[in-house]
Structure 1
């Protein structure tokens, strides 16, 4: 299965498992998909829940927060957050694609920050 096939399969709401967050790849830089339709960028209240994570991300060299919760690296959108009724999600750039990660639990948030560190080349 090539990457575009994987993105189609993982973005297909018919293949969604109810109650299970979906991680997916999209070729659209600002993709907003979920099993229930569109997923909006995280608003102020949602970002308030992620303040500790945002603080940790702000400490990483190489990231610039252009607006609250929207980070750039080398002039390109690098990560941002979404919310929908199933929870909070972070999109992290992987080349020309974004990969979505759930960031609802403290452990998910810590794992996400570690993924960002690795993506930036930090140990």
Structure 2
């Protein structure tokens, strides 16, 4: 029995985080860490806001624009990353969803894919003795 074997399941269960930026005394340390996926989602939301900056800037006063473009995408990204979709993390949900879209035309029999057109053919059965 391999009791000394290491299980990587615990390691991959947790998201990747940035704990420290820089070296020495001038380094910026994050006590809870910043998730990489939250950074990516925040940048995407910021890009979406930036596309509509003309109409957003007309509605908001100048003092609130910095807070709108910097703080709001980060807060929305944090809420999105903490939410569970079908009991899964955001990235795992979309990976599974796109795999489903790619593989949904197949049914599997004996671990081999059966194309959907084959499934629609008329089937005949032999009489059992």
TM-score by length of 1: 0.21
Q: Which structure has the greater CA radius of gyration?
A: 2
Structure ranking higher in helix proportion: 2
Answer 1 or 2: higher relative contact order, Cα 8 Å, separation at least 6.
Answer: 1
